[in-house]
Amino acid sequence: METLHTNRLVLRLITKSDLVAIHKLQSIPEVDKYNTLGIPKNFEETKKVMTPLLEANQKKEIDYYTFAIEQNNDNKFVGLIALILGSKKYNDAEVWFKLNPKFWKKGYATEALIAIINFGFKKLELHRITAGCAVENLASAKVLVKAGMQLEGRRRKALPLKTGWNDNFDYAIIESDEWV
């Protein structure tokens, strides 16, 4: 089972025992602001959405890694980060993350993202890792840049958020870029 360690965090593949914490995270309005899933109606909806991700983590050859982010000193649940492998031909992946607002502005998202980038390039030998965020989501955009990703473009009206269709910034990093 894949587990990644940073100075302050442990990233481990999610399990069924994480579902309550995941439901709480996805039910926080601030976390939902730029999320296309919306706030779950109940725990069963969270379970239904997360079950395919739990199953993906159990495959012999994982193509959708979903990690719980925890503080390494007390195992407190910080959030989620995922790496979705693309086509073998293109040797690429997409990353997404969401953290509990209690842990915002502490560098945890950047630390977790750098760990995922290192995992993607060193362990999985990927060529390219991409991410997107709503253009108004300035905090996530800053995290992507701090981790070494570069803005590549803007997709118009690509995200169906509660506020309507929103533009999306596309970021990427390739293995020949500078990354930590």
Predicted local distance difference test score (pLDDT) of residue 178: 78
Mean pLDDT, the chain, as a whole number?
A: 95
Predicted local distance difference test score (pLDDT) of residue 180: 65
**Which tens digit of pLDDT belongs to each residue from 138-175?**
999 999 999 999 999 999 999 999 889 999 999 999 99
Q: What is the mean pLDDT of residues 96-117?
A: 97
Task: Looking at the structure, give the CATH architecture of the domain made up of residues 3-132.
Answer: 3-Layer(aba) Sandwich (3.40)
**Which tens digit of pLDDT belongs to each residue from 1-28?**
689 999 999 999 999 999 999 999 999 9
**Which tens digit of pLDDT belongs to each residue from 114-143?**
999 999 999 999 999 999 999 999 999 999
Question: Domain locations in the chain?
Answer: 3-132
Question: Exposed/middle/buried for 177, CB within 10 Å: 0-12, 13-18, 19+?
Answer: middle
